[in-house]
């Protein structure tokens, strides 16, 4: 059950409701928005009486959230969550493009790519410093050195940065450098990591697991939200199916479906979603038109020499062409780009 | 291997090449286009010498088609196949919209829908007369009575019609009424049916099987092409995956991938691809932008009372709104609509 | 709803019940077993009153079948269906082994294999005469010539034969030769073919489609049953999943699940279920232990030279070793072999 | 590349080879068995010359491992790995049964179950103290209190214990109590956790991810092996597919396939593999016959009241009956039970 306070509700009235809920043996989540405060009651609320809350001072409405994901649901918050990352808005009417190499391979590779994607119009720079690789014998990323290059690229271009964090222990270190913490598909149900990023303020970019249902994804987001970090961005990056021609099957249905189910921003990743650079532009544009709040695109100056994901990386020139197409399409999707 | 004749090649020169191939123990497929004739050599061509054909009079080039699907491949024919159905063009720069009810339920239901989709701008009327139902105890379609209503709707609206054929025996009957023969997903590898529709002139609309790879789909098309009917239209209608929120997973990757692999037109079916009417418009528009040559959309005047697929059918008003959006998007996809 | 007549019910009493049901506007299916007759009422039976039937003479019980598959369900018939094929029993306590080559390639190949599997203890000879091939340019089977070789092999070995039928038109021809008609996975929802084999007496071996749920399979069986042929054998042959090491994923869960849901015999096909000969024996034995009523195994004297499915075919010697293992295991699965 | 030393090789000879490899800029893994020592060379070994090692003193053979998983592969070690857990042998000719509740819910629930499974013949007690739950609002396990109950159950019954560890940070704590560390399916590619359990001695039970290929699973094992812990046990627990009747699809093919590919023990988990208690026994027995080295079975004294996974838990009596069946089957699978 969630309790929506009146816009005029005082903080004493909010406290009074919270106190009441706790007396009844339930825990709460507070969502204090600009206009009003919403109180989520956690756990089994079958035996609670909605009316008993609605008669309290400052309460506008008490309603039950039918979905297992509570704070993430549209029932909890009807308006889109908009997250501000160093002035770049994610969610709402904004369309955000995150671009950069799969891995940070060297200072020069990153800076070259950063300037190229900045010039083409990207808003956020991506790059992996800690890489989740299938083989323990493969390149595992430059680590903190990679984070330093990302910060240098941010300083030179003004682009906020996003990079992956692999373990709960590394959250403080990575959060010290990055503007957005990425949780990879393989860690989508790594609950200790979800809880750890839930305890910091840094926005979290949560990639859908390769065989996760939409509910699985939203429940993973709920772990972060329930830990106190409300700045969660979801990412559809393709699911694992029987298909062979493409690396994954980009689930275009998930875009409008998630926009119905949740108020959190939803980003499309056509690079992983297809695994083939020559399909990326078509799926990127489809993602925009289907309602995504933005894109994550892998760009590499020399894809053939990339240390990872070369086959799905765009060259800067092709990325620039894609940005032109996206700018032409954005108004028809009622988006600012 | 395929052999491309010069535009100036005489039919005697073509015959001479065909004769030579048959002497070598191979069978051929002739593709006589407006500009030139292309000869496909079937079977194992490893031991054939390309040069021995290129020195023959009238031959421009001999080349090997690496794909297992030959006549369907872009290697065989680089330019888009454009199919003319009573003046409606499918393929090339055209964007075609097929709309109508899942099942023809009654004369009035069909005519009401036909006029509504015509008014909204659809080009072709769909409607099932013979229905492939999961249960032998469910409504199986009106049969020939349904075909007669479709013809009446065509006469009233001028819209060409498309309807499904379930068995090889029924091809002559259904082809007598319809302008396009539809092969459903469950029959995609019903080879006797593929061969039967390959023996008539009527264009064939081939839906991807629910667990078919792109190669499976193109090999099924090849059965029709190899039987002599070159008027094949492919349809992506969603695949079966682990997801639960939607009935199928619309494979948006398949759209640009198929456009790379084949010259045949590719239509998107967001109604089956999602199974939910409120996701149809987003996925329809995504299909257009991703490169589809058209759409197939289920429209029903009263979805709640539909005998089949009500949950995924649009009301006429919503379909008209979608057509408006599509018309605005088409120029950005370099399409005529 | 189904109506179970008393063992002592007369045929006049049965007729009277049938008459009554038809008067109420419903259709019936009669299942006249040795001990008693069961009457299935088809269509929507919500408004029918169970009591109004139970007071009729000769009626023991009227009960509702909750499953969408009626005649196929365990609710309809609690005891196992046992099908007799020239003296070979399929179902019940019997464990049947069908073996032979994927394709009938020549008289000598078939006869050599037939004698080998007979000697090893197989009960039924399999072999494809009409082959459903992915490519129209591949070997499509020997056709009627293959059927003649199968009959000759039956005459020499005494083994009943099973072979696939691809189209409704060919059912009379193939049924003239074969003892069991096989419906392949790709035709599992070819309803015209299901109806055609439902109209003959010959037992039908129905393979699960590669992305069919258990309900899909049972509804396909229901098409045959509802057409009047109660001799239906189901086959689990692996489903299509994301896995790469094996051709399909043999769904071992389906074996005990189907035995719960239906009274029809359930056969395991570990050859297609794995696609690798060196996994066949392990999965074959697992199938027996999990409750299957039999096996279908591909055996070829020279797998490396097989025209189809060589990679999953056992050599006769390995098949004989497997039969030894199966005979040792059968008593522990409470089976006669 | 791996280097197999002669049985008579001295440790100085081994050191000399290791030294040589490191001089060439590669890292090594040493596998010092009873009979001989095997040295794995990690990283890209294309440029290394096998002959240059084979001429060194004490070297029997140098060979390349073609699989991406090196230490986990059968090429690396042909004989089965046998792991000793407080006297219970896992791998080789032994068949081990791990049983117990999904979650440790209370001292009495655990002790009651522990005595019941001990009496029925189980070898190892399972029970979750830290639970990976889909919802942050669900019971998350008793934590360390649960670990203490497990230890008490071990003291009372003599059964070694296995329990899940959720995060790298908790490895030291959990390893202090448990005999085997379980990595759940959702954490199969949590590389930080894999590396953490690779740094301790405690055997690791690694569950296959729900959409992991066999190679994915073996690469995850390789992370643990490459970190130094060679006591890795693999677990097939069902994969996520389109099926609906069962919670997962138990991949029986994976059992013989893994036994071919790796020397590590392979355990079957029919509880998660089916999700339905009434299918567990059939799939458990199938797993034994297909070649599994053991089983993990969920047992609960009162499944209807279980806090998690009640639907797939066996009652003690049914578990005891299953153990009887397994003991009868074991000799036919050439196993000691």
CA distance D281 to chain C (A): 8
What pLDDT score does B319 carry? 98
* Chain B residue closest in CA terms to D247: B242
What pLDDT is attached to residue C153?
A: 98
Q: Which residues of C touch A242 (CB under 8 A)?
A: 211, 240-242
Q: Tell whether the model's pLDDT for residue D1 goes beyond 60.
A: yes
pLDDT tens sequence across B206-249: 999 999 999 999 999 999 998 889 999 999 999 999 999 999 99
pLDDT, tens digit (0-9, with 9 covering 90-100), for A283-302: 999 999 999 999 999 999 99
Contact call for A253 and B243, based on CB within 8 A: yes
pLDDT in tens, A39-72: 888 777 788 888 889 999 999 888 887 788 888 9
Which of A242, A243, A249 has the most C C-beta neighbours within 10 Å, making it the best mutation to test the interface with C? A242
Q: Which of C68, C136, C167 sits opposite B222 (nearest CB)?
A: C136
pLDDT (tens digit, 9 = 90+) per residue, C198-227?
999 999 999 999 999 999 999 999 999 988
CA distance linking residue D60 with residue D163, whole number of Å = 41
ipTM comes to 0.90
Domain final residue pick, D16, D33, D63? D63
Q: Which of D170, D193, D223 sits opposite A136 (nearest CB)?
A: D223
Same domain as C9, residue C44: yes
Residue D43 has pLDDT above 80, yes or no: no
- Residues in B lying within 8 Å of D, measured between beta carbons: 211, 240-242
B245 contact residues in D (CB cutoff 8 A): none
- Considering only CB atoms, which chain B residues are within 8 Å of A250? 251-253
N-to-C CA span, chain C: 37
Q: Are residues B31 and B148 in the same domain?
A: no
Query: What's the confidence (pLDDT) of residue D221?
Result: 97
List helix spans (H) across chain A: 11-23, 50-54, 107-120, 144-157, 171-177, 191-198, 214-226, 254-261, 270-274, 277-290, 316-329
The mean per-residue pLDDT over the stretch B76-93 comes to 96
User: Residues B18-47: pLDDT tens digits?
Assistant: 999 999 888 887 766 556 777 888 777 778
Which tens digit of pLDDT belongs to each residue from B178-194? 999 999 999 999 999 99
Chains that touch D (3 or more CB pairs under 8 A): A, B, C
Check whether A31 has a pLDDT greater than 70: no
Largest CA distance in chain B: 66
Tell me the pLDDT band of A165, cut-offs 50, 70 and 90: very high
pLDDT score recorded for residue A227 = 83
User: What are the residues facing A59 on neighbouring strands?
Assistant: A5
Residue-wise pLDDT for C184-193, tens only, equals: 999 999 999 9
**Whether residue B263 sits in one domain with residue B185:** yes
pLDDT at C34 over 60: no
In C, which residues are within 8 Å of D242 by CB distance? 211, 213, 239
Is residue B268 within 8 A of residue B296, CB to CB? The reply is yes
D272: closest CA of chain C, how far (Å)? 11
* Residue A138, min C-alpha distance to chain D (Å): 8
Do D31 and D110 reside in the same domain of the chain? no
C39 falls in which pLDDT band (50, 70, 90)? confident
By percentage, how much of chain B surpasses pLDDT 90?
Answer: 79
Q: How far is D309 from chain C (nearest CA, A)?
A: 18
Average pLDDT along chain C = 93
pLDDT band at residue D66 under the 50/70/90 scheme: confident
Å between D191 CA and nearest CA of chain A: 7
How many angstroms separate the CA atoms of C185 and C188, rounded? Answer: 5
A244 and B213 within 8 Å at the Cβ level: the answer is: yes
Tokens of C70: 């009626």
Range of the structural domain that residue D326 is part of: 83-333
Closest-approach residue (CA) in chain D for C274 = D253
Residue C282 confidence (pLDDT): 98
**Chain C residues contacting D via beta carbons under 8 Å:** 211, 213-215, 239, 241-246, 249-253, 255-257, 260, 273-274, 276, 278-279, 282-283, 285-291, 325, 328-329, 332
Contacts of C167 in chain B (CB under 8 A): 168, 190, 192-193
Stated pTM of the model: 0.92
Residue B157 sits in the same domain as residue B113 = yes
Residue B160 located in a structural domain: yes
Q: Which positions in chain C touch B76 (Cβ < 8 Å)?
A: none
The answer to whether the Cβ–Cβ distance between A211 and D216 falls below 8 Å is no
Q: What's the CATH code of the domain at C106? A: 3.20.20.70
Q: How far apart are CA C142 and CA C128, in angstroms?
A: 8
Using an 8 Å CB-CB cutoff, list chain D residues near B242: 211, 240-242
Examine residue C254 and state whether it is found in any structural domain, yes or no. Answer: yes
Do residue A28 and residue A167 come from a single domain?
Answer: no
- Residues A197 and A317 grouped into a single domain: yes
| One-character DSSP codes across C89-126 | EESTTB-EEEEE-SB---HHHHHHHHHHHHHHT-SEEE
Chain C: give the shortest CA distance to residue B211, in Å: 6
Where among D33, D63, D93 does a domain terminate? D63
Among A31, A63, A95, the domain-final residue is: A63
Contact flag B211-C210 (C-beta cutoff 8 Å): yes
Task: Place C165 in a pLDDT band, splitting at 50, 70 and 90.
Answer: very high
Mean local confidence (pLDDT), C57-75: 87
D213 part of a folded domain: yes
Domain membership of residue C77 (yes or no) is no
Q: Which residues of A touch B (CB under 8 A)?
A: 211, 213-215, 239, 241-246, 249-253, 255-257, 260, 273-274, 276, 278-279, 282-283, 285-291, 325, 328-329, 332
In CATH, what number is assigned to the domain containing residue D40?
3.30.70.1140
Are C251 and D249 in contact (CB < 8 Å)?
yes
Contact D219 A190 (CB under 8 A): no
Taking only the tens place, the pLDDT of each residue in C233-286 is 999 999 999 999 999 999 999 999 999 999 999 999 999 999 999 999 999 999
User: In this structure, is residue C232 part of a structural domain?
Assistant: yes
What pLDDT score was predicted for residue D41?
Answer: 84
What does the pLDDT average to over B78-83?
96
Q: Is residue D185 part of a domain?
A: yes
The more confidently predicted of residues B75 and A131 is A131
Q: How many domains does chain A have?
A: 2
Task: Enumerate residues 6+ apart whose C-beta is below 8 A from D297.
Answer: D97, D98, D99, D122, D269, D270, D271, D280, D284, D314, D319, D322
What is the structure's pLDDT at B51?
Answer: 87
Given a contact cutoff of 8 angstroms between Cβ atoms, the answer to whether A116 and A316 are in contact is: yes
Per the CB < 8 Å rule, is D241 touching C241?
Answer: yes
A46, A141: one domain: no
Contacts of C209 in chain D (CB under 8 A): none
Say whether both A176 and A115 belong to one domain.
yes
What pLDDT, on a 0 to 100 scale, did the predictor assign at position A45?
Answer: 79
Chain D residues with beta carbon closer than 8 angstroms to that of C290: 282-283, 285-286
Among the residue ranges A143-147, D48-52, D54-58, D89-93, the one predicted with the least confidence is D48-52
Indicate whether A77 belongs to any domain: no
The pLDDT tens digits for D144-175 are: 999 999 999 999 999 999 999 999 999 999 99
Please indicate, yes or no, if residue D312 is contained in any of the structural domains: yes
Q: How far apart are CA D153 and CA B235, in angstroms?
A: 60
Burial class of residue D55 in the structure, from the number of CB atoms within 10 Å of its CB (0-12 exposed, 13-18 middle, 19+ buried): exposed
pLDDT-wise least confident of A234-248, A287-301, D46-60? D46-60
Closest-CA residue of C relative to A243 is C242
pLDDT of D42 over the 80 cut: no
Nearest-Cα distance to chain A for D324, in Å, is 37
In angstroms, the CA D213 to CA D205 distance is 17
C contacts of D325 (beta carbons < 8 Å): 332
Are A237 and A285 contained in the same domain? yes
Q: Are A56 and A68 in contact (CB under 8 A)?
A: no
Nearest CA in chain A to D228: A136
- Picking from C25, C27, C188, C190 by the largest number of B CB atoms within 10 A of its own CB, the best residue to mutate is C190
Q: C72 in helix, strand or coil? A: coil
Chain B residue at shortest CA distance from A292: B282
Q: How confident is residue A34, by pLDDT bands cut at 50, 70 and 90?
A: low
Same domain for C163 and C17: no
C-beta of residue D125 within 8 angstroms of C-beta of residue D100: yes
- Enclosing H/E stretch for C283: helix C277-290
Please tell me whether residues D6 and D87 are part of one structural domain. Answer: no
Which two tokens mark D173? 């704590």
């Amino acid at each position: 059950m969630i309790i929506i306070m009146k816009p005029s509700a005082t903080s004493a009235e909010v406290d009074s409701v919270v106190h009441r809920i706790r007396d009844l043996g339930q825990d709460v989540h507070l969502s204090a928005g600009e206009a009003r405060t919403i109180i989520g009651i956690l756990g089994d609320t079958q035996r609670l009486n909605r009316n008993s809350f609605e008669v309290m001072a400052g309460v506008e409405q008490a309603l039950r959230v039918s979905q297992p994901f509570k704070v993430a649901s549209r029932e909890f918050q009807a308006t889109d969550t908009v997250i501000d990352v160093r002035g770049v808005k994610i969610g709402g009417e904004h369309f955000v493009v995150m671009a950069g190499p799969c891995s940070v391979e060297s200072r020069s590779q990153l800076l070259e790519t950063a300037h190229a994607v900045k010039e083409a119009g990207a808003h956020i720079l991506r790059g992996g410093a800690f890489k989740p690789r299938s083989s323990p014998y493969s390149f595992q990323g430059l680590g903190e050195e990679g984070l330093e290059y990302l910060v240098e690229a941010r300083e030179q271009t003004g682009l906020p940065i996003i990079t992956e964090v692999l373990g709960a222990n590394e959250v403080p270190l990575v959060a010290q450098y990055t503007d957005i913490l990425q949780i990879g598909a393989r860690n989508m149900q790594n609950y200790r990591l979800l809880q750890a990023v839930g305890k910091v303020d840094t926005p979290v970019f949560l990639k859908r697991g390769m065989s996760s249902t939409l509910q699985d994804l939203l429940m993973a987001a709920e772990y972060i939200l329930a830990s106190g970090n409300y700045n969660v961005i979801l990412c559809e990056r393709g699911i694992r199916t029987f298909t062979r021609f493409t690396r994954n099957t980009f689930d275009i249905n998930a875009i409008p479906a998630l926009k119905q189910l949740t108020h959190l921003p939803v980003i499309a990743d056509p690079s992983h979603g297809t695994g083939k650079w020559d399909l990326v532009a078509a799926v990127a544009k489809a993602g925009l038109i289907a309602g995504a709040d933005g894109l994550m695109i892998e760009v590499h100056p020399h894809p053939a020499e990339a240390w990872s994901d070369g086959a799905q990386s765009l060259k800067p020139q092709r990325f620039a062409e894609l940005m032109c197409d996206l700018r032409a399409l954005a108004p028809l999707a009622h988006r600012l780009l």
